[in-house]
Amino acid sequence: MSLGPIEVVTFDFGNTLVPVRRSGLRRVVGVTAERVVASLGSFAVADFLAVWAEERERQFREEVPRFREVDLGDRFVRVLARLRGMNPPAPDEAWDQPEAARWSTAEEIAWAVETYSRAFVDGMPPPPEVGALLRRLACRYRLAILSNWPLAETVDRYLAAAGWDRHFEAVVVSQRVGSIKPHPSIFRATEAALGLTAGDGDAILHVGDDWGADVVGAKQAGWRAAFLHDRPHDSPLPASVRDESVAADVELAKLADLESVLG
């Protein structure tokens, strides 16, 4: 299939540029748990991990249907409140966030979020072939990140550590925008960051591994879409079920195939 003239290529972050396997994310959370327990509390690492998992799933249930990104700071507030003695609400009830916040300080939460962010960057080594691909593509196209991610600073820090940041003209992350893909507002925010308008969509190719977020979102925004099949089978990141509401402009077995598709 001919894509026509493409001027901008945008990339999803997790599982598109950076594979996020269950084992890798488990290590990140484990390192975070050990550091939090050592610095902030008289509770066990196993208890932290169990409560973290429960509150992570609760946040996804609450926020994703509303097209909102989960908040890591809120999660740490809830986790510390529970570990320090506050009873959680029932699974179908909302947290009293101000009350939960009384069980920790703003400084503790900021430190915990920073700890998790740095553990992710340190624990998820960048695939070496991706840097070379981005370097070649940046000679021919304008590149940007368009990603759902609960902490934009982690994406910024990761790109800088990998040496990829110089290839991207814009880094648009759901936490900063306030909505997640496939909501049109995050695609419009990306156009604005690149100095484009909705009428420029035919010249934008978005590459991602999640059908609903990346393919449906891009097509509904008037963009081109490339669907990446090479997602880790055990990834704990949220994923949607493929449907026939739209068709991808191109499907990629692996990210390296993008160059040949672009010609």
Q: What is the pTM of this model?
A: 0.94
Domains of the chain: 8-20+126-262 (3.40.50.1000), 23-122 (no CATH)
Residue 263 pLDDT: 82
Neighbours of 107 (CB within 10 A): 8
Residue 192 pLDDT: 98
Q: Which mean pLDDT values do the consecutive 10-residue runs of the chain (263 residues) have?
A: 84 98 97 97 95 96 94 98 97 95 98 98 96 97 98 98 98 97 98 96 97 98 97 94 95 96 89
Residue 207 pLDDT: 98
| Closest among 149, 205, 206, 152 to 180, alpha carbons compared | 149
Q: How far apart are CA 15 and CA 26, in angstroms?
A: 15
